[in-house]
Structures are given as C-alpha cells and as structure tokens.
C-alpha cells in the first residue's frame, strides 16, 4: 500500500509528500483560489505518465545496449467537456537522439512500457485512448 500526505498551505495551494519523502506543490489558478505557485493536478497526471514511461524505456534501452544522446517525451492530453473532466485522449511523442538507433528496438521499448511495465500508462489507458509515436532525431 502506498500512502501520501496532502496539506493545504493556503486557499487552493497544497503540498503533497509520499514515501520518497519529496514535497510536490499543487496549486490552482488565482481565479480558483490558488496562487499559481505549482503544477495543476491534471498536469501531474501527464507528468507521472511521462516519468514512469521514461524510466521504463531508459532501463529497457540500457538492457538492449543502446546509447542515446538525448531522450524526451512530449505528452498531449484532451479532456472531457463536462465534469468530471477526465482525459479522454492522450498522445505521447517519444523523441530519441543518437547515432544508428534501430527504430524497431525503440518502438519495442515504447510498447513494452505502455503495455506491460508503466503502471501509470496502464491505469490511464482504462479511461483514455492512449496513442504513441516514436520520432528519431539522427545526429550529424
């Protein structure tokens, strides 16, 4: 079981801490009672998916002995119009930089993360259509 603590600081500004013992600031827009001093909870959902998947892919590619010079994930989420405004579509672009990177291995790593290892992706996939794209940026 994982436990987290969420503390109200002021208005709609909160601090959250989990077993890793790191504080995260969550906040709302000023018009919603926040101070605009932290990430919105729904942003954190996409960040969590990117972080979870990124860690998986990094480990998988290390086992495949692939060397990257850079790796970035861009996520775009579309939300429902009415409440609750859950994500209905999420698209993740996986950008890889390096020499002689085999696309098929990169695509396999992304697929393994999304379908098997990343708990966040698998959870979000139950409420949203999650799509992925691998983009190679060869180095000169």
Paired sense of beta strands 70-79 and 23-26, if any: unpaired
Cα distances (angstroms) measured from residue 135 to each of 20, 81, 101: 32, 30, 11
Q: Are both 69 and 133 inside the same structural domain?
A: yes
The two three-digit tokens of residue 21, written as one number: 């013992």
**19 and 58 inside one domain:** no
Asked if residue 13 has a cis previous peptide bond (ω within 30° of 0), the answer is no
Domain range enclosing 126 = 41-138
16 and 74 share a domain?
A: no
Whether the pLDDT of residue 140 is over 70: the answer is: no
* Neighbouring residues of 2: CB distance < 8 A, sequence distance ≥ 6: 18, 19
pLDDT in tens, 50-86: 999 999 999 999 999 999 999 999 999 999 999 999 9
**Is the same domain home to 76 and 23?**
no
Most distant CA atoms of the chain, gap in Å: 52
Predicted pLDDT of residue 139: 78
Count of structural domains within the chain: 2
């Amino acid at each position: 079981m994982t436990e987290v603590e969420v503390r109200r600081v002021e208005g709609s500004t909160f601090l959250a801490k989990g077993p890793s013992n790191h504080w995260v600031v969550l906040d709302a827009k000023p018009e919603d009672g926040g101070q605009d001093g932290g990430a919105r909870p729904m942003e954190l959902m996409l960040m969590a998916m990117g972080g979870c998947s990124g860690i998986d892919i990094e480990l998988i590619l290390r086992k495949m002995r692939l060397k990257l010079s850079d790796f970035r994930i861009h996520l775009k989420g579309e939300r429902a119009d009415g409440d609750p405004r859950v994500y209905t579509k999420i698209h993740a672009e996986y950008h890889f930089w390096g020499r002689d990177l085999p696309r098929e291995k990169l695509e396999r790593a992304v697929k393994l993360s999304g379908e098997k290892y990343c708990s966040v992706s698998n959870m979000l996939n139950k409420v949203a259509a999650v799509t992925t794209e691998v983009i190679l940026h060869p180095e000169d």
